[in-house]
Amino acid sequence: MSQNRLPISLLLLRVSVFIVMLVWTLDKFIRPGHAAGIFSSYYHLGGFNTTVMYAIGIIELIIIVAFLLGLYKRITYGAVFIFHLISTVATWKAYLTPFTNVHLLFFAGIPMLAGCFALYLLREQDTLMVFGKK
C-alpha cells in the first residue's frame, strides 16, 4: 500500500496544477483583454490584441493538456514549471505588500511553484494515468 502513495500524490499534484493552469489559460479565451492587461502590467509586454491572446492560449492549452496526460514529461513538466516561475517572479512586488488589495492571494503561488518543481524532479515516478513513456 505505501508504495502507491508517491504515484497517487504526484497524480493529485499534477491534476491540481493542471486545474490552476487551465483557468489561467481559459482567461485568455474568455477575457482576452484581461489577459492582455496581465501581460502588460506584470510582464511588461503590451499591445497584445485578441488574436495574439488566442494564439498564446492555444499553445498554452496544448502544453498543459500534454502535461495532464503525462506526455513528453521533460518538456511539458519543465514548461509548466517555467510558466509558473515566470508568473511568480513577475509578481514580486505583491509579496512586498501582502495586506494590500488581494496581494495575500499571490502567496498561494509559492507552494504551487514548489509543487511544479517537485513534479519536474519526480517526473519519472509520476506513473498513474500517464500516456507518455513510463
pLDDT in tens, the chain (134 residues): 567 899 999 999 999 999 999 999 999 999 999 999 999 999 999 999 999 999 999 999 999 999 999 999 999 999 999 999 999 999 999 999 999 888 999 999 999 999 999 999 999 999 999 996 65
pLDDT at 102: 87
pLDDT at 124: 95
Half-sphere exposure of 29 (CA within 13 A, CB side): 10
Sign of the C-alpha dihedral, residues 38, 106, 66, 114?
Answer: positive
- What are the residue boundaries of the structural domains of the chain, listed by start? 2-121
Q: Are 107 and 98 in contact (CB under 8 A)?
A: yes
Q: Are 116 and 17 in contact (CB under 8 A)?
A: yes
Give the whole-angstrom CA distance, residue 116 versus residue 32: 25
